[in-house]
Chain A
Amino acid sequence: MGVAMAGMFTSSLTTLPNVAWEVLFGLLTAWFAYRGWADTRSVRGAAADRCTLHVVHCAAMLYMFLALGTAAAGGGGTGGMSGPALRYPTLAGVFVLLLVAYPAWDLNQLSGRRYSLGGAGIIAGGPAVRAFLLAPATRAGWDVVFGIAMAFMLVIMI
């Protein structure tokens, strides 16, 4: 996702063709939607929450590639952020709202009484790097960065 975002930000950065990204994010959206649906039916509510976030992130990326690609068909290129405006900007607005709302909600949950932001202790015993990478605070930090960056991309493309 980071590579795809970097490719959208910078026209000189050549990554995969747009079609490949569209297929990839389409599959990921469907996969996480299915996993979220399956987890909602079980007791793993927290896992369903994570899947919901991934669905939103992947769907936003899919939307950006599809909408930008469709708009570019009328002229201009899709590389970088200086291309034509997105189609269906209302949908982009909805994604922006979801992308800024989730970090607020997630940080609130993570900083609850029993689940401090320095929660690396729950995986104590593992190597330090692994513990750091899997720590809820690290994961929340990346989610916030990705969500804000994606919201910013959508805002400047509207």
Chain B
Amino acid sequence: MSEAAVQGDRAGWRAMLGSAGEEAGQARGAARLDARRALQLVLAGIWLLDGVLQYQPAMYTKAFGQMLAGTAAGNPAAIARPITWQASLLDHHLVLLNTVFATIQLLLGLGIAIRPTARLALAASIAWSLGVWWFGEGLGGVLNGGASPLNGAPGGVILYALLAVLLWPADRAAPAPFTAARAVGGHTARALWLVLWLSLAYFALTPANRASWAWRWPACSPRA
């Protein structure tokens, strides 16, 4: 290959890379983040992190199924029976199902991050969160009397669903007073936050949590 041909080839690559960089620069200007989109990306990052954590070797052991089965304890039969069934199913197909779970969580994160699929991924994340809240967290212990803000009640994953609802990419006709009100309106957004915080306060004041041992580490409590 001649020197001129080599230089011409390099110039071609530089031109292409330069053009890609300029285009990207223009695009970055066009794709500026507003507060809601930034929060959606935080949610996407959390789902990605969840997916990575779900791939850990510890999740491919029997302990994972046993942990899920343990969340059935104390719940009404209608809630507990599906949890037990699902934990048993997981026990038999641990590798396959855990890989599917982890991949779904990764895809939710990637889907929320990609603008055209954000709406679909947010909707799917609400459904997935509700499923994990029931089958993975036993509804956060809300119905078994052992719920406490210190042990994660009302369940971490239900907060993802709440965030997905509040960050839904739609705008109402009236201007929103704050970011979380853009999709559902100010009154509904405030009501949802009120329910969350009042539930935390309620769980903190239940008799089980007012006992003398309740504020120690949960594993030290007589219930554990």
Q: Chain A interface (Cβ within 8 Å of chain B)?
A: 43-47, 49, 96-97, 100-101, 103-115, 117, 119, 122-123, 126, 130, 134, 136, 144, 148, 151-152, 155-156
Contact = CB atoms under 8 A, between A and B. Distances in A.
A96 B52 contact: yes
B44 A115 contact: no
B57 interface: yes
Given A111-B114, A136-B20, A156 B28 contact: no
Given A114-B30, A126-B16, A148-B48, A104 B113 contact: yes
Kindly name the residue among A97, A112, A126 whose own CB sees the greatest number of chain B CB atoms within 10 A: A112
Nearest to B19: A122
A76 to B, nearest CB: 17
Interface of B: 12, 16-17, 19-28, 30-31, 33, 37, 41, 44-45, 48-49, 51-53, 55-57, 106, 109-110, 112-116
B9 to A, nearest CB: 11
Contacts, number: 113
Contact of B27 (A96, A114, A130): A114
A108 B48 contact: no
Top 4 A-B pairs, shortest CB-CB distance: A112-B31, A115-B27, A107-B113, A46-B24
B15 to A, nearest CB: 9
B16 A113 contact: no
A108 B113 CA distance: 5
A109 B45 contact: no
A109 B33 CA distance: 9
Contacts of B30: 112-115
Given A108-B37, A126-B16, A156-B56, A100 B25 contact: no
B56 A134 contact: no
A117 B48 CA distance: 19
A103 B48 contact: yes
A129 B6 CA distance: 19
A49 B27 CA distance: 13
Given A108-B41, A108-B113, A117-B114, A100 B56 contact: no
Given A103-B110, A109-B31, A115 B24 contact: yes
Contacts of B21: 44, 46-47
Contacts of A112: 27-28, 30-31, 115
10 contacts: A97-B49, A100-B49, A101-B45, A103-B48, A104-B44, A110-B27, A115-B27, A117-B116, A136-B24, A155-B53
Contacts of A113: 27, 30-31
